[in-house]
Amino acid sequence: MPFFEAFRLAIQTLRAQKLKSGFSLLGVFVGVASLIAAWSIANGVDRYMTEKFAQTLFGVNTFQLRRRPMFTPNVPDSVWRAWARRPRIRFSDAEAINNGLTVPVVTAWQSSDQVTVTFGNKEARDIELTAASERYFDIKNLRIAIGRPFTGEENRSGVPVAVLGDAVAKRLFAERQPLGRNVRIGGVPYRVIGVVEHQGSLMGFPLDRFVVVPALSPAQNMVNPPGILDAFLVKARSDVEMREAMSQAEGIMRSRRHLRPKQDNNFVLDTSEGVQRFWAGISRILMIVMPGIIIVSLVIGGIVIMNIMLMAVAERTREIGLRKSLGARRRDVLRQFLAESTAIALVGAAFGIIAGIGLTVLIDKVSPLPASVSAKSVVLGVVLGAGVGILFGVYPASRAARLDPITALRQE
Amino acid sequence: MSNVQLFRTGDTPLPDVIILAHKLTREYDMGSELVRALRGVSVQIQQNEYVAVMGPSGSGKSTLMNLIGCLDTPTSGEYWLNGQKVSELADDELARIRNKEIGFVFQTFNLLPRADALHNVELPLIYAGMPARSRRERAAHALERVGLGDRMDHKPNELSGGQRQRVAIARALVNEPSILLADEPTGNLDSTTSTEIMGVFAELHRQGQTVVMVTHEQDIAAHAARVITLRDGLVATDQARAA
């Protein structure tokens, strides 16, 4: 009997016993659905991390000179204390690097803190105030929706102008035109000259609650002590040039701080790699835990299928006897029951794939987690489904194939 | 029978001898005791014979039936079917012989309940590896032969007992077997339907089909041209009847 025939027969049997089949494919269904959903979340977050997260926090081909790394998960207290003892980054450090680099780069100063911004009787709390130099917008890839960014001239002379994040503009001005109006930051009036395009959110954190002002404007005293920077941002044209710029910057800083060759850096040149390494760690854990869950549900699914198939063999002993008397060989019977268990598993996998994709779309829409379906997970779902059907179908099928036709025919 | 070959171990049967059983024994080891169901049965059946096998329960007729039907292998002795020595064949080869040479008709019909008449009749052809189109043609033709050309898409539960047995006969015939082997074919039928089914057998026999039928009913056995009676695992009587 050709396999196709066996498969057709199997589908017929499945359709004839919808309820029983429905239960029997539940395990595989859950296994495959969770496989696809989990993989898709990991996949989505992964792409997000590498493409958007890193870009948003750092910018492409960009490094930051900082006292300590920006992204610092799971750091012991002793390290924190060591970091806190380090000297801070000064305006003069930034100037020195800017003048010392031979690689073409774009640079910006950056210092930030949480403040309240007011306009008339309206106020926006917990807004990230960033005092930055004019190229900050380019490095962070912040596009201006209306108005303009501030200029280098405005930055150097410390003119009190402000570029608002989308959420801040909406909060303070609603439908009104914000350009040219004065908002107050720390009691000082700042003229709004631009609003940045809507940025959305990052893993659930809103990205539009910020105000950018010139680094040398009066607000500089709100974000840091005089002459101190949070970070000095350096953007190169390529990864190679960024590496080169980093090593030059490292040399400049080490000599400025009089570090001997054996002494460690007391500053960091931070890139998106740190974030990505952290994410890689999480995704590695996911990749270890997730298969466990999936394997457990697939094994349960397989055992259910095996049980159902053993029941089917018992129920259909006469049929097997008859088929054998009509000329079915052992392998024909084996194939028939294998096809049946595989069909159950594949139908379960198919529903699982549909549900997994549905779940993925839902998660992507409703939750802050970005999720996108991975084609590999769908293929794996089908393969695992069929594999479970075959693996757990072998025992019942071989029991059926070994039945003695005489006893099988005599069975009531 | 006049032209019975004097068969000795090592001989080959004459060409028109379809069934040749030579000193067949079949023993079952039931743990504590050895059951000797057949104790040396020698039978020859020629092409186009219509034979009934009778005997009380425990006489060994079912065992003989299983051996003739290639569902079982003898403990000793030879069994030749259509010129082929099948007593020593392996499992898969026996399956092939059952498929090609033997058409079974059972007391309980043994139709697949979820399949329609046509598919039931198709079954042996599926195992013969015939492509779907010719399979369907052959099955339809076999159903027409037993007068069920208009019932092909009926499921067994939509058919009467007699019709079900006709489907089973069509299934038995579809591979054009050497022998039609019927085990109590009327055991589950009322007397009118039994007569009807016996009519079908008679007609097939008239068309040249070799028929072997196991029954314990005298009046059913009376339809056959020859009756073999078994008792205690041996042939008790073997006589031709006046047709």
In order, the DSSP letters of chain B are -TT-----TT----TTEEEEEEEEEEEEE-SSSEEEEEEEEEEEEETT-EEEEE--TTSSHHHHHHHHTTSS--SEEEEEETTEE-TT--HHHHHHHHHHHEEEE-TT----TTS-HHHHHHHHHHHHT--HHHHHHHHHHHHHHTT-TT-TT--GGGS-HHHHHHHHHHHHHTT--SEEEEESTTTTS-HHHHHHHHHHHHHHHHTT-EEEEE-S-HHHHTTSSEEEEEETTEEEEEEE---
Looking at the predicted structure, is the pLDDT value of residue A145 above 80? yes
- Find which of A5, A11, A326 to mutate to test the B interface (most B CBs within 10 Å of its CB): A326
Coil/strand/helix, residue A335: helix
Q: Identify the closest residue of chain A to B110 by CA–CA distance.
A: A322
* Residue B2 pLDDT class (50, 70, 90 cuts): very low
CATH code given to domain B48-71+94-240: 3.40.50.300
What is the Cα B167 distance to its own chain's centre?
15
Which residue spans within A237-383 are E strands per DSSP? Answer: 268-270
Q: With an 8 Å Cβ cutoff, are A326 and B66 in contact? A: no
Mean pLDDT of chain A: 88
* Helix (H/G/I), strand (E/B), else coil: A84: helix
Q: From CA B3, how far away is CA B15, in angstroms rounded?
A: 12
Cβ pairs A/B, distance under 8 A: 59
Task: State the pLDDT at residue B242.
Answer: 60
Tokens of A44: 């989505």
Structure tokens at A384: 């695992």
pLDDT digits (tens, 9 = 90+) for A326-361: 999 999 999 989 988 888 888 889 999 999 999 889
Report the b/e string of B212-239 with b at 16+ CB within 10 A.
bbbbeeeebbebbbbbbbbeebebeebe
B72 touches chain A (CB under 8 A): yes
ipTM for the predicted complex:
0.91
Of residues B41 and A294, more confidence is placed in B41
Residue B1: predicted pLDDT: 47
Closest approach of chain B CAs to the CA of A399, in angstroms?
Answer: 15
Delimit the domains of chain A by residue range.
3-52+277-410, 62-270
Q: Give the pLDDT confidence score for residue A363 in this predicted structure.
A: 84
Distance separating alpha carbons of residues A206 and A208, to the nearest angstrom? 6
Q: What is the pLDDT of residues B138-152, one digit of tens each?
A: 999 999 999 999 999
Instruction: Please report, for chain B, the start and end positions of each structural domain, with discontinuous segments joined by +.
Output: 48-71+94-240
By C-alpha distance, the chain B residue nearest A322 is B110
Q: What is the pLDDT of residues A274-300, one digit of tens each?
A: 777 777 777 787 778 878 888 888 888
pLDDT classification of B241: cutoffs 50, 70, 90: confident
What's CA A305's distance to the chain center, in Å? 35
Question: B123 and A326 in contact by Cβ < 8 A?
Answer: yes
> Whole-prediction pTM value?
0.70
* A70-84, A99-113, B29-43: the lowest-pLDDT one: A70-84
